[in-house]
């Protein structure tokens, strides 16, 4: 008998997936060590309360406020850092964010609602046994930085404030400025955030003292700092930002304890789990669908020409831009996902219409050569891939980034955004039909990159929310993820439409999950 050794590649990828999943499990096992985390709802506001596992006497309290399109899950590491450093921490979900189903209004009512949500969190801390109600501080990021800055200015009982990435439009008028104010800005943030920090520092009251509040005589200390190597989102996971905020609050609220930074404690397990899903998809798809489908014959006429694809993309971008301009303001309850979803929907429909017309003119609409139809009688295989895609999205983002389960109007808007993204991905598959290998991958990527660039241009022009520019790295990462999985599916016997459905889930679900409710 001759023993045939299995190729190394047959076990190397599964072993790597197991290793990554195990690393994610070990990382999650150590999350929140040394602290106690409970969840509650106060006046309709979901709040996580994080306290030191062992503490003597009354601890000062700190409210940590998230930014626009974020939630308390994104700020969870901040709660752990501060709790380990001697504070009782409340992390609320603002209206329209996370698990809070109430919409966040526009205009002056927005500031009123944000202040009311902060009131609920501050009140919870003051009523919590073991928390000193006279020593309360605030931390906020982006929109949350503006909210805590205004709140502290209007409530003199707030002893200290840390504003991370303060927006320029959220600076209270002089002399209504918060006491013991620390302003942190990422090195690579947009200039508007650096100007906002400088303006807030220059607008100090006469009693403001530069430096740290360690000296009790300094009743209104003020300092600004730049976090090296960080931008608007990565500053939330920067150890320097965590340490600076914790030390500032300790000095102001008179806490003597070592600072124990938890920056990235949830992020890295989430990244490892995402990597396990991403890498494990290759053997998973091969086991489901087997070898690749027969390749189309060269010159079969199925593949649209490059000018035809370019014309389709141009038509799709034009229709998407026009539709976004004509859409009435406030038509969608999703402040970001609705607008981007409409853009991608119109882009996909416009591109498909032009490509379909070209196919009919070439008399090849009935030619099925090169189109992957999938295995007959195997509906469970595409269903398994779709379930894998949904789990690959929901599990990592639920650990560290956003609320994975839709709340409020997201229950019925999330499927709509997923469908819209899927139609844009279907346009890319339609444009890439008749090609194989790297050429097919290149056409698919070109179409979707053009759509993403169109979203960015419309955001710069004011047609789409400018906040899109801040989440552009997230959209780019999701696009790369989809392109990798689509390339895998295209090399198996999967049906041609499956990459479009999977792309809708990979792109649309996170987009809807982080979109605030207006």
Write down the pLDDT at residue 11: 76
In terms of domains, do 243 and 310 share one? no
In terms of domains, do 210 and 319 share one? no
In terms of domains, do 38 and 95 share one? yes
Residue 290 domain flag: no
Domain boundary among 236, 253, 270: 253
In terms of domains, do 70 and 188 share one? yes
Write down the pLDDT at residue 467: 87
In terms of domains, do 211 and 314 share one? no
Per-residue pLDDT averaged across 472-478, rounded? 88
In terms of domains, do 223 and 342 share one? no
Q: Which domain holds residue 485?
A: 301-362+408-518
In terms of domains, do 207 and 356 share one? no
Is 142 a residue whose pLDDT tops 90? yes
In terms of domains, do 40 and 133 share one? yes
- pLDDT 10s digits, 30-60: 898 999 999 999 999 999 999 998 876 789 9
In terms of domains, do 98 and 188 share one? yes
Q: Which of 131, 130, 195 is nearest to 165 (CA)?
A: 195
Residue 278 domain flag: no
Domain boundary among 213, 237, 253: 253
Q: Give the C-alpha separation, 88 to 47, whole Å.
A: 13
Per-residue pLDDT averaged across 159-177, rounded? 75
Residue 280 domain flag: no
- pLDDT 10s digits, 215-273: 555 567 888 999 999 999 999 999 999 999 999 999 999 898 899 999 999 999 999 99
Could you count the other beta carbons within 10 Å of the beta carbon of residue 224?
Answer: 18
Of 51-65, 179-193, 286-300, the one with minimum mean pLDDT is 286-300
- pLDDT 10s digits, 294-339: 455 444 457 889 999 999 999 999 999 999 999 988 899 998 999 9
Looking at the chain, the whole-number percentage of residues with pLDDT higher than 90 is 64
Residue 384 domain flag: no
Residue 213 domain flag: yes
Q: Are 443 and 467 in contact (CB under 8 A)?
A: no
In terms of domains, do 227 and 314 share one? no
Residue 88 domain flag: yes
- Of the pLDDT bands very low, low, confident and very high (cuts 50, 70, 90), residue 202 is confident
Q: What size, in residues, is the chain?
A: 518
Per-residue pLDDT averaged across 5-30, rounded? 81
Per-residue pLDDT averaged across 498-512, rounded? 94
Residue 433 domain flag: yes
- Number of domains forming the structure of the chain: 2
Residue 263 domain flag: no
- Read off the CATH number of the domain in which 120 is found: 3.40.50.1820
Sequence-distant (6+) residues with CB within 8 A of 325 are 463
In terms of domains, do 247 and 309 share one? no
Per-residue pLDDT averaged across 416-442, rounded? 94
In terms of domains, do 243 and 336 share one? no
Q: Which of 272, 207, 203, 257 is nearest to 20 (CA)?
A: 272
Is 426 a residue whose pLDDT tops 90? yes
């Amino acid at each position: 008998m001759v023993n045939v050794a299995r190729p190394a590649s047959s076990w190397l990828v599964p072993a790597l997936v197991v290793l990554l999943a195990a690393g994610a499990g070990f990382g999650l096992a150590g999350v929140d060590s040394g602290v106690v985390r409970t969840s509650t709802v106060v006046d309709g506001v979901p709040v996580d309360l994080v306290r030191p596992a062992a503490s003597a006497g009354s601890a000062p309290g700190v409210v940590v406020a998230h930014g626009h399109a974020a939630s308390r899950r994104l700020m969870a590491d901040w709660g752990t850092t501060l709790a380990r450093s001697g504070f009782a921490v409340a992390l609320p979900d603002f209206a329209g964010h996370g698990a809070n189903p109430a919409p966040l209004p526009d205009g002056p009512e927005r500031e009123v609602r944000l202040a009311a949500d902060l009131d609920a969190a501050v009140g919870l801390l003051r009523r919590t046994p073991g928390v000193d109600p006279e020593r309360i501080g605030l931390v906020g990021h982006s929109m949350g930085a503006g909210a805590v800055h205004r709140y502290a200015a209007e409530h003199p009982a707030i002893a200290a404030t840390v504003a991370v990435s303060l927006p320029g439009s959220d600076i209270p008028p002089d002399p209504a400025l918060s006491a013991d104010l620390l302003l942190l800005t990422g090195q690579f943030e947009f200039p508007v955030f650096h100007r906002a920090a400088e303006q807030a520092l220059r607008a100090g009251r006469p009693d403001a003292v530069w430096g740290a509040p360690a000296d009790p005589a300094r009743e209104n200390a003020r300092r600004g700092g730049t976090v090296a190597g960080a931008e608007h989102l990565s500053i939330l996971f920067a150890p320097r930002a965590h340490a600076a905020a914790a030390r500032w609050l300790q000095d102001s609220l008179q806490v003597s304890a070592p600072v124990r930074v938890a920056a990235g404690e949830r992020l890295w397990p989430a990244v490892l789990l995402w990597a396990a899903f991403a890498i494990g998809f290759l053997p998973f798809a091969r086991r489901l669908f087997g070898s690749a489908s027969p390749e189309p014959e060269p010159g079969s006429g199925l593949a649209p020409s490059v000018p035809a694809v370019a014309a389709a993309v141009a038509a799709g971008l034009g229709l998407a831009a026009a539709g976004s301009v004509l859409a009435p303001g406030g038509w969608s309850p999703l402040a970001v996902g609705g607008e981007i979803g409409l853009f991608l929907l119109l882009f996909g429909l416009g591109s498909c219409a032009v490509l379909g017309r070209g196919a009919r003119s070439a008399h090849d609409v009935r030619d099925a050569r090169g189109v992957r139809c999938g295995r007959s009688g195997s509906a469970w295989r595409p269903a398994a891939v779709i379930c894998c895609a949904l789990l690959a999205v929901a599990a990592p983002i639920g650990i560290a980034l956003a609320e994975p389960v839709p709340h409020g109007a997201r229950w019925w808007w999330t499927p709509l955004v997923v469908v819209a993204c899927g139609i844009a991905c279907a346009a890319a598959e339609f444009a890439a039909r008749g090609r194989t290998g790297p050429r097919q991958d290149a056409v698919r990527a070109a179409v979707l990159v053009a759509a993403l660039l169109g979203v960015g241009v419309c955001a710069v022009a004011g047609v789409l929310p400018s906040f899109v520019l801040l989440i552009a790295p997230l959209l780019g990462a999701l696009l790369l993820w989809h392109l990798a999985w689509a390339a895998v599916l295209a090399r198996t016997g999967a049906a041609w439409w499956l990459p479009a459905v999977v792309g809708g889930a990979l792109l649309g679900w996170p987009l809807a999950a982080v979109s605030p409710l207006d």
